[in-house]
Each structure stands twice: as C-alpha cells, then as structure tokens.
Structure 1
C-alpha cells in the first residue's frame, strides 16, 4: 500500500534548490516514505519537542515528517542538514 508524500513549503524550496546528487538522495528518501514510512532502518521516531514526528536519515540531511495513517499520507515538514535539523 502506497502513501502519498506531501512536501510543505520549506522542503519544496529546499528540494528545488538542491544540487543534483543531493536531489537524487532526497528523491530516494521520498520513495522510501511512499512505501514504508514506519519501518526502515533510516527512520526513527523523535522525542521531546518533536514528539509525534519522525525523521528519515539521508546522508548528512534529515527529513522531518509526520504520518497520517487514515489518509495514507506523509507530510514532510522540514529538510535540513543534520547539524540544524532538530533546532
């Protein structure tokens, strides 16, 4: 069962401006989220202020997202370098 991946405004801008190698890694990450947004070695549930969110590790970048099971939708809220992703 496939999920629909929705990019919010910041991830959409980030993806549009990414260089080709990074854009390829991010696109691969989006394909992972379409298929298995809950169970993948690169996915981890977050805690603290980001409780209820999850992250997908893609090289040095992190995709912060939430899953809506009822709508079979994944909302990507942020894409950021690992040093800035959780701020």
Structure 2
C-alpha cells in the first residue's frame, strides 16, 4: 500500500532574517535561491547541495548556493521546511 503523504510537498517558510537577506541579494542570487526553495519543497534532505550539520548546529541542514549557505530545519510531521538564515560562507559558521 502506498503512503499518501509520500508525494506531498513540503511548505517552505522563510524567517525574517532570511527574508531580509533575500530582499537585499542581487537578482541573480535571488533566482538561484528561488530554485533552492523549490527543491526544498520537493525533498529537503536529498540533493547533492544538502548536508546535515553537526556540533552546535546538529538538527539543521545546509543547502549550498554558490558561496552562500541556506541553513534550514525540517519538520516532517508538519511537512515544513523553515529557512533559518542565509549568509555568505565566511559568516555562516561564526
């Protein structure tokens, strides 16, 4: 029997900080981030640019977009991906 929830996409919610970063980004980066958000809706864990984080950030994931990182968390029960923040790699892990 097929699980009906198996094909349901996730909802992506963007935090205020991540939204402010997005709005200030170049049009080119915004387009790439939009593609990232669309991919996260389909499968927030399985993509070559996605890795689970360790240490203090355990429980979070990162999606690589050029020299930027999209840090997100996943709630499978609610089918929800929350974008916590977006930053240049030089600032992400500070």
SS, match of residue 84 in structure 1: helix
Match in the other structure for 1:82: 89
Which is greater in Rg?
2
- Among residues 55, 73, 78, which one is paired with 2:80 in the alignment? 73
Which runs of no fewer than 5 residues in structure 2 stay unpaired?
1-7
Please identify which structure carries the higher helix content: 2
Moved over 4 A (4+): none
| Aligned-pair CA distance for 1:72 | 0.2
Give the superposed CA RMSD: 0.6
Which runs of no fewer than 5 residues in structure 1 stay unpaired?
none
Report whether the alignment pairs 1:20 with 2:27.
yes
